Amino acid sequence: MNRKQLIEQIFQKKTFLCVGLDPDIRKMPECVQQEEDPIFFFNKQIIDATAPYCVAYKPNLAFYECLGVKGMTSFERTVEYLQKFYPDHFIIADAKRGDIGNTSAMYARTFFEEYNVDALTVAPYMGEDSVTPFLEYKGKWVVLLALTSNKGSHDFQLTEDKEGERLFEKVLKKSQQWGNEDNMMYVVGATQGQMFQDIRKVAPNHFLLVPGVGAQGGSLQEVCKYGIIKDCGLLVNSSRGIIYAGHDENFAQASAEKAKDLQQQMEVELSKIG
């Protein structure tokens, strides 16, 4: 999915919601745990319930890899289900890959050829040759970690060099020499609030993938106040706040209600773009 198509979906559906598919069997309703493939069954129900209210899904690979082959089979089935029944939804594999060039090339082949997802989260720490192999695929996106929502983000991302430039700003500036607004997004945590102003000074037109709304306490309104642009330029992710909204056999309906609530808030924010 290219930038133009993504923007069209956002304004057509009046939402820039991304639903994080982070299935933890221990948090699922008991009725789900009895299924032959509980991960896929859970994801399928969540997808069917929330699809009208979002434009993207983001399965986090850690929740599948921890179950070995069974978990990766569930991941594959989830991606195939989305591609078959919801082809207009953007799929982000949240795997945070990044290694020396030839290894990154294999990771890129895995996610962009084998699984054929739209985007992959990538860690920038190892520099240009660890990122550029992912940018060689036309129509695919790199989602580069920039300023994350976790408490430990302050350990490195906000450190300054002798000119006062913070590490996340250096990442934003340098990476724009490798990719552009048509094939690169940045991860910026919703809990960073007013820092979105600083992000937009360096990356005024790039899409931002924004985790941290909901369970992590980030404010959608604050994110939009400082981060939204005329093309929207945001994919706001909610995982736990949506997929674990219910704890019984009506869990999917509870998820739909949470997703709908966020969609309605996003519709208001989109209406402010003039």
Catalytic site residues?
96
d(CA 75, CA 182): 26
Cα torsion through 20, 25, 30, 31, rounded to 10: 60
Angle at 135 between CA 130 and CA 140, to 5 degrees: 135
Helices then strands (H, E): number in the chain? 13, 8
Interacting residues of 95 by C-beta distance below 8 A, sequence separation 6+: 61, 107, 111, 120, 121
Position 175, amino acid: S
- Only one residue has tokens 């736990």, namely 240
Position 56, amino acid: A
d(CA 13, CA 29): 30
Closest CA to 51 of 27, 82, 78: 82
Cα torsion through 162, 168, 169, 170, rounded to 10: 70
Q: 70 is written with which tokens?
A: 């069974």
List, as one string, the DSSP characters of 25-92. GGGS-HHHHTSSSHHHHHHHHHHHHHGGG-SEEEEBTHHHHTTHHHHHHHHHHHHHHHHHH-TTSEEE
